[in-house]
């Protein structure tokens, strides 16, 4: 099983690098991209890096709001550390759920409230993904309604859109958003809790899973009366969409001033985020750059610029997440367990 997992991870890395190479070799003048990068506005690049770091900080703040709804008091600085460690593992390890597992694990170690920690991470992920999926549905629909490609796009650039069908994205992101909202409603439903309990009692090993489910269901149930906190978390998620759009706008205009306006970036950013979730490569490597190239074509900014912006955004994502490695190493030095260790700490006895 472990060897199969390693093989799958290697394949994901190969797919990501393969997509990068495939796209790079089909650009009109790949060598000119590096000269364009060297001539970029360094201050705007720095602001883009800071903007991306702000998005990570907002994610930690959203998590803090959700924890307060459960009456869990954790210093915001501590959650910043957990968030940065999670971002690092999301970007550098092929299993994209690794960051969420690590966040929940660290929080459980701090609070000794395993079920509450798992519930907070779950609700946090639901609100974030739902916001991006709704934004992606609206964005892709907006491009389709307004006519899609500009008339000036060349035939070679049009080829990039074979990778992306905006109609499928509009339907897919809408469907995923509906599924997420339905799943959240079911998780918050007491009837679901009772139904799952009945099913588990009839399964051969259900009695072992039943206590875990009951604790998790009770923790999730705390959010039934925390709709204001969940609404604020949803608004913060939308703010993160805006902030990450600022990052992309800064990168594009650092490379080519006036090439794309902020409204256009605000439209395509959620679609890129939607495509990057597809688990083909670690951190969306390759997939992200293809999406950038195709969608920059769709707004008339050019495939070359899209590829370069996607590559720089990937590098900024890696750079911003590096403090997570330092925090994790410091935690291990202080005696914390490795995130590869399965399971969570036990609940304290009454």
| Residue-wise pLDDT tens digits, 130-171 | 888 888 888 777 777 766 544 444 445 445 444 456 677 778
| Residue-wise pLDDT tens digits, 199-214 | 888 887 777 777 877 7
175: in domain: yes
- Look at the chain and report how many structural domains it folds into: 1
308: in domain: yes
Task: Judge contact between 99 and 329, C-beta under 8 A.
Answer: no
SS3 label, residue 41: coil
Residue with tokens 């409204």: 263
* Cα–Cα distance, 264 to 143 (Å, whole number): 9
- What pLDDT is attached to residue 168? 73
319: in domain: yes
342: in domain: no
* Whole-number Cα distances in Å, 205 to 191, 199, 200, 209: 22, 11, 8, 7
Number of C-beta neighbours around residue 141 at 10 A: 18
- What pLDDT is attached to residue 242? 93
* Whole-number Cα distances in Å, 262 to 155, 173, 307: 26, 22, 18
* Cα–Cα distance, 111 to 274 (Å, whole number): 33
Q: Domain containing 95: what range?
A: 55-333
* Cα–Cα distance, 193 to 207 (Å, whole number): 15
Question: Which residues in the chain show pLDDT less than 70?
Answer: 1-6, 8-9, 93-97, 146-166, 279-280, 282-283, 333-350
47: in domain: no
- What pLDDT is attached to residue 1? 55
213: in domain: yes
340: in domain: no
């Amino acid at each position: 099983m472990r060897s199969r997992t390693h093989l799958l991870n290697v394949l994901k890395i190969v797919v990501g690098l393969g997509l990068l190479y495939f796209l790079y070799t089909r650009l009109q003048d790949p060598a000119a991209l590096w000269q364009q990068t060297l001539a970029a506005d360094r201050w705007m690049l720095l602001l883009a890096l800071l903007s991306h770091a702000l998005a990570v900080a907002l994610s930690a703040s959203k998590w803090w709001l959700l924890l307060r709804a459960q009456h869990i008091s954790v210093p915001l600085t501590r959650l910043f550390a957990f968030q940065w460690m999670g971002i690092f593992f999301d970007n550098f390890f092929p299993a994209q759920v690794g960051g969420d597992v690590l966040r929940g694990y660290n929080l459980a170690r701090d609070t000794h409230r395993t079920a509450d920690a798992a519930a907070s991470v779950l609700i946090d992920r639901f609100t974030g993904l739902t916001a991006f999926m709704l934004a992606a549905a609206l964005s892709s629909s907006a491009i389709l309604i307004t006519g899609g490609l500009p008339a000036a796009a060349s035939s070679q650039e049009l080829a990039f859109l074979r990778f992306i069908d905006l109609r499928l994205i509009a339907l897919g992101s809408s469907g995923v958003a509906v599924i997420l909202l339905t799943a959240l409603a079911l998780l918050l439903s007491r009837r679901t809790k009772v139904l799952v309990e009945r099913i588990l009692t009839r399964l051969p090993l259900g009695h072992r899973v039943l206590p875990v489910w009951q604790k998790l269901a009770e923790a999730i149930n705390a959010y039934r009366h925390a709709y204001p906190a969940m609404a604020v978390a949803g608004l913060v998620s939308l703010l993160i969409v805006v902030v990450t759009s600022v990052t992309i706008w800064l990168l594009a205009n650092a490379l080519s001033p006036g090439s794309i306006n902020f409204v256009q970036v605000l439209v395509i950013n959620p679609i890129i985020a939607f495509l990057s979730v597809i688990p083909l490569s670690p951190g969306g490597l390759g997939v992200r750059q293809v999406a950038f190239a195709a969608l920059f074509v769709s707004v008339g900014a050019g495939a070359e610029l899209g590829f370069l912006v996607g590559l720089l955004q990937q590098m900024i994502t890696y750079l911003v997440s590096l403090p997570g490695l330092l925090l994790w190493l410091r935690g291990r030095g202080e005696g914390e367990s490795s995130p590869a260790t399965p399971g969570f700490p036990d609940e304290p006895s009454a």
